Amino acid sequence: MQRFDKLFINGEWVPPHGSGHTTVFNPATEGEVAQVCNADLDDVNAAFAAARAAFPIWSATSAAERADWIRKLHSALERRKDDLAMAITQSMGCPLEIAKIIQVNCVKALEKFAGRAYEMEVEKRINNSLVVREAVGVCAFITPWNYPLYQLIGKVAPALATGCTMVLKPSSVTPLQDIIFAEVVAEIGLPKGVFNLLTGKGGVLGDAMVTHPEADMVSFTGSTATGKRIQQLAADSIKRVCLELGGKSPFIITENAPLEQAVSFGVKDVMINTGQTCIALTRMLVPANKYEEATQIAKKVAESLKVGDPLAKDTYVGPMSSMSQRETVLKYIQKGLDEGAKLVTGGLERPKGLTHGAYVKPTIFRDVHNKMTIAQEEIFGPVICMIPYNTIEEAVSIANDSIYGLSSGVWAGTQEEAIRIARRIRAGGCYVNGGDFNYDAPLGGYKQSGNGREWGEFGIHEFYEIKSMQL
């Protein structure tokens, strides 16, 4: 078992002021993977002091210098990709071969963020005014466990590009890839204090980070419940708060869509990462006259996905990220049954042959009404609700009947038809006719799914202030 006894503050590995360690568990084996030290409030203060001290110099570097640092970081991380993938698989269960793609490929986005550093040098003359961009300052970053490296890169890369300094706290479930990231920061010799890493419990460190007088901005990815609390806490100091929160995304399949292809896409979209994807299309909306056929296709596809050991090459569905997440998902499955939804496949029993570990069967519910709890709340597990509809009007209305608005999907007969429907859905994104994920496109939510946009050229906008000088 690995043991990590130090925090990364001011360019150095230092012993924490806090005491005790948090155990990282492997959700496939339930065994211990690592012990990671806990920071306390003094460590929070030390990390923000380091980030504040580094800010004047780092924010004054040229775009070319920062781009150079980001490229160095990119090359060094490329060399650690296997370690990063294994760290994620061991701590949250994403199958290794899949983790190499969906969890670790995001490293390549650093190259693009190096180029975006130059956007900070864009100036605009408006009559007698000169408008310039300046780094927002010291950032507090709090990230979740489901795509832990992706969430790190989505915040750290634009912050570096724009000249911000930062203090990052990963989820205590998955701190290992962040520790590798800090090792890489130390290896390339990034100026001290620009990047600081604290490990420990969100409940202990979160409030202090969010309310810290030296934090100019908070960027949080996680549940809507924690996001609400963070926004309230940060309100007192009017600091910028960027929230990337939960989702319950709809997927409208139209009558003239290729049913087999569309349903198969929808099932695999949810089951990857064992349903723990914020943008997963967990409400599948199907024309009533195609409903029976669609449920049969969904059953066949779900039952064809191999569930099991995340280290096995052919596994598609690993365990949930933790035993407590497994309990949460099972409670939702029970709730669905209690509310009258019917199982197409899956359910409460353990997948065959998996006597321990945080496994849940890929589960599909039919006869779901959109007002049911399982259609309204984010389950964050391998669970799909299939909902019938009669007209596109009704489908759009069901799609929008949610407190969330993170993502969506439409599969129609033509791209034009799908885009027309997509534009009527109140969500920050839409997957059109099976479109691919794009690291260069902005990602973020409407409604209670958040207020920020990460990735792509929009992903740096949150990290700068605009100054207007009247000449």
Catalytic residues: 244, 278
Residue type, 153: I
Q: Is 406 in the site for ligand NAD (CB under 6 A)?
A: yes
Q: Is 402 in the site for ligand NAD (CB under 6 A)?
A: no
Q: Is 458 in the site for ligand NAD (CB under 6 A)?
A: no
How many residues bind ligand NAD (CB under 6 A)? The answer is: 33
How large is the C-alpha radius of gyration of the chain? 22
* SS3 call for 241: strand
Of 90, 226, 274, 315, the residue at the interface with ligand NAD (CB under 6 A) is 226
Residue 393 CB contacts under 8 Å (≥ 6 apart), including other chains: none
* Residue 18 structure tokens: 């806090």
Distance CA 216, CA 262 (A): 44
Q: Please state, as a whole number, how many other Cβ atoms lie within 10 Å of the Cβ of residue 129.
A: 12
* SS3 call for 142: strand
How far lies 219's CA from each of 34, 144, 315, 403, in Å? 27, 12, 33, 21
Question: In this complex, which beta carbon is closest to ligand NAD, that of residue 359 or of residue 455?
Answer: 455
Beta bridge partners of 133: 466
Choices 54-62, 76-84, 206-214, 356-364 (CB under 6 A): range interacting with ligand NAD: 206-214
For residues 411 and 254, the answer to whether their CB atoms sit within 8 Å is yes
Of 19, 203, 355, 436, the residue at the interface with ligand NAD (CB under 6 A) is 203
Q: Is 172 in the site for ligand NAD (CB under 6 A)?
A: yes
Question: In this complex, which beta carbon is closest to ligand NAD, that of residue 276 or of residue 345?
Answer: 276
Of 158, 450, 456, 459, the residue at the interface with ligand NAD (CB under 6 A) is 450
Of 11, 144, 381, 388, the residue at the interface with ligand NAD (CB under 6 A) is 144
Question: In this complex, which beta carbon is closest to ligand NAD, that of residue 157 or of residue 392?
Answer: 157
* Residue 40 structure tokens: 């306390």
Q: Is 202 in the site for ligand NAD (CB under 6 A)?
A: yes
Q: Where are the alpha helices (DSSP H) in 218-315?
A: 224-235, 259-271, 291-304
Beta bridge partners of 162: none
Of 142, 270, 298, 302, the residue at the interface with ligand NAD (CB under 6 A) is 142
Q: Is 287 in the site for ligand NAD (CB under 6 A)?
A: no
DSSP string, 69-115: HHHHHHHHHHHTHHHHHHHHHHHH---HHHIIIIITGGGGHHHHHHH
Q: Is 39 in the site for ligand NAD (CB under 6 A)?
A: no
Of 146, 322, 363, 402, the residue at the interface with ligand NAD (CB under 6 A) is 146
Distance CA 115, CA 281 (A): 32
Choices 7-15, 26-34, 240-248, 366-374 (CB under 6 A): range interacting with ligand NAD: 240-248
Choices 76-84, 108-116, 241-249, 339-347 (CB under 6 A): range interacting with ligand NAD: 241-249
Question: In this complex, which beta carbon is closest to ligand NAD, that of residue 203 or of residue 353?
Answer: 203
Distance CA 235, CA 58 (A): 27
Q: Is 148 in the site for ligand NAD (CB under 6 A)?
A: no
Binding interface with ligand NAD (CB under 6 A)? 142-147, 169-172, 202-203, 206-207, 210, 221-223, 226, 229-230, 244-247, 278, 378, 380, 406, 443, 445, 449-450
